[in-house]
Amino acid sequence: MDQVLLYGILVLIVGVIVSELYKANFERKIESQDERGRQIALKVKSISYSMLSIGVYVGVALVAIFQVFDQYNFIYFVMLVFFIQSIGSSIYLAVIRRT
């Protein structure tokens, strides 16, 4: 069980690093400097903030209302939300760039 958790965390960390490198690569290219690139960047930021907001609201509801896990573990849930948001926004960037 401990090794599965460790491998899951490592895969998540590698996913975050790859997704951040992908976003940085996009922002560095000329494609991101034109009007369409700025529109794409704004859409990615918008969905990214929405994912973060929803994740934090769900976490607060799970801790305060439903008491699914202890409030001391809330910070780990928020960290997980940040990781998932990073990966999700990169996936969204890849999809929207192709359309």
DSSP 13-74: HHHHHHHHHHHHHHHHSGGGGSHHHHHHHHHHHHHHHHHHHHHHHHHHIIIIIS--S-GGGH
Residue 6 sits in which domain range?
A: 2-98
What DSSP designation does 70 have?
Answer: -
Question: How does the average pLDDT of the chain come out, rounded?
Answer: 94
- Asked if the model's pLDDT at residue 81 lies above 90, the reply is yes
Residues 69-85 have a mean pLDDT of 93
CA distance 63 to 77: 10
- Which pTM value belongs to this model? 0.90
Quote the number of domains for the chain. 1
Over residues 38-69, the pLDDT tens digits come to 999 999 999 999 999 999 999 999 999 999 98
Q: Residue 1: what pLDDT?
A: 78
